[in-house]
Amino acid sequence: MGHHVGSKNSIVPLIDRLNKYPVGLPDSEKLREILSLLFAENEAFIASHFPLEEATLEELTQATSIPGVDLLPQLERMCDKGLVMDLPYEGETYFLLLPGLIGFFELTFMKNRTDLPKEKISRLMQEYLYENPREGMAKEFFDSRTPLTRALVYEDNIPVSSTVTSYENAQEIIKNAGYGAVGICYCRHKKHHLGEDCAKGAPMEDICISLGTGAKFLVRRGFAKEQTAEQLLQVLERARKLNLTHITDNIRQKPSFICNCCSCCCELLAGVQAGYSEGVAKAPFILKIDEELCNSCGLCIKACNVAALKIDEIKQPVRLQEQVCLGCGACISVCHQGALSMVDRNENYTPPLNRREMMKKRLLERGRATPFVVSGIKKKIRKIVKGKPKNPQIP
């Protein structure tokens, strides 16, 4: 199979394959350099031939023309690197090529790996994401009617007259997940290799929460540590003491993560600060400032993780940019004057039901749905002919 993997020519087909996902990776020289560092030549070839859905070893053998005995060790290595996800299901293992974001970009820095030039990759990723925030990767990720992520409010700050559903409550999301883990924060780890540490003193390790099927994969492959629900609730509490913002999947059923984000390191909140005020879906609450009590100390400005608070003139009350405020409530505890509170946003927004529905919306927005429809039909026909069970539903 030497003719398949003997050069870097597999990088371009890999980019073409990744750009069929709901969130692609706009091509550039920096992206090509990143991918050439993350994927060995044989891995780029295999990834470029991955079906759009999860696939068995037999299906991947057919797609790549690599014998299963040779292909399986390579897939195992790709799973260990966080390029591919393995999904054991009813005695069969399925493999799924992960997208770049949210996907193998993050997983690259969720292990303390020694086989990568981390400083170089950190710089390349930082430049690729935000060198031109109005175009390129930032636009691809954030500029959509269907955000990939959403903010969660601190429950203690919810108005007495208000209620939240279980999918809007970080504690309930953890309790209902059934399985959870904690691991390294990709964003802070990457910043660390750029010589920058969190201005809030937030930890790099044991702070990012993963849940459900995704968490099992991360634990199985050494990206995270299994935790009880009680342990994960303690992680939430530590995050709140640091005034971090909880961010989760923009779905109602089975969110797969809760990130605890700061303004200085977090890639998601950097997008909001770069002008994509709708790039992260907002909690159903918004900050209210009592101008009579506000003494313009500025502590809330430092606490806000999306730069939604401003002072226009010295000794004037703090002003809220309503279109930017995520409604997380991370700022409230720092106000010693009691001038801050949360109120209902009075905007009806219901997140997509699940990840499949969310990604379907993104595909339709991007005009990328047709290849998935065709591929899905072909796969169903093959399954019927062979009499095999349906593939697992990816959360």
pLDDT tens digits for 295-311? Answer: 999 999 999 999 999 99
Q: How many CB atoms lie within 10 A of CB 305?
A: 25
Inter-residue contact 126 to 194 (CB < 8 Å): yes
Q: Is the pLDDT of residue 132 over 90?
A: no
Strand partners of residue 182: 209, 225
Mean pLDDT calculated for residue range 374-380: 73
Q: Could you report the per-residue pLDDT of 286-343, keeping only the tens digit for each?
A: 999 999 999 999 999 999 999 999 998 888 899 999 999 999 999 999 999 999 999 9
Q: Is the pLDDT of residue 383 over 80?
A: no
- How far apart CA 91 and CA 242 sit, in angstroms, is 44
CA count, 13 A, side-chain hemisphere, 73: 3
Give pLDDT, residue 1: 37
Least confident of 3-7, 22-26, 66-70, 212-216: 3-7
Residue-range domains of the chain with CATH: 2-108+354-386 (1.10.10.10), 136-344 (no CATH)
Mean pLDDT calculated for residue range 161-165: 86
Extended beta strands in the chain, E state: 55-56, 84-89, 92-97, 149-152, 180-183, 208-211, 224-227, 245-249, 257-261, 285-289, 309-310, 319-320, 340-344
- How far apart CA 210 and CA 179 sit, in angstroms, is 9
Q: Is the pTM of this model over 0.85?
A: yes
- The b-or-e profile of 365-376 (16+ CB within 10 A means b, else e) is ebebbeebeeee
- How far apart CA 102 and CA 308 sit, in angstroms, is 25
Coarse DSSP helix, strand, coil percentages of the chain, rounded to the nearest 5 percent? 45, 15, 45
Residue 102 burial class via C-beta count within 10 angstroms: exposed 0-12, middle 13-18, buried 19 and up: buried
Give pLDDT, residue 314: 80
Mean pLDDT calculated for residue range 35-50: 97
What values do phi and psi take at 175, rounded to 5?
-65, -35
Q: Could you report the per-residue pLDDT of 214-250, keeping only the tens digit for each?
A: 999 999 999 999 999 999 999 999 999 999 999 999 9
Give pLDDT, residue 385: 65
* Whether the bond into 102 is cis, omega within 30 of 0: yes
Give pLDDT, residue 57: 97
**What residue type is assigned to position 73 of the chain?**
P
Strands 92-97 and 285-289: unpaired
| Residue 275 to residues 103, 143, 247, 283, 297, Cα–Cα distance (Å) | 23, 10, 18, 18, 26
Strands 245-249 and 84-89: unpaired
Q: What is the dihedral of CA 291, 294, 297, 298, to 10 degrees?
A: -50
- Annotate 269-300 with DSSP letters as a single string: HHHHHTT-TTSSBPPSEEEEE-TTT-----HH
Give pLDDT, residue 5: 40
Strand partners of residue 341: 288
- Annotate 18-82 with DSSP letters as a single string: HTTSSS-----HHHHHHHHHHS-HHHHHHHHT--SS-EEHHHHHHHH---HHHHHHHHHHHHHTT
- How far apart CA 356 and CA 379 sit, in angstroms, is 17
Q: Could you report the per-residue pLDDT of 206-219, keeping only the tens digit for each?
A: 999 999 999 999 99
Give the relative orientation of helices 29-38 and 118-130 as an angle to the nearest 10 degrees: 150
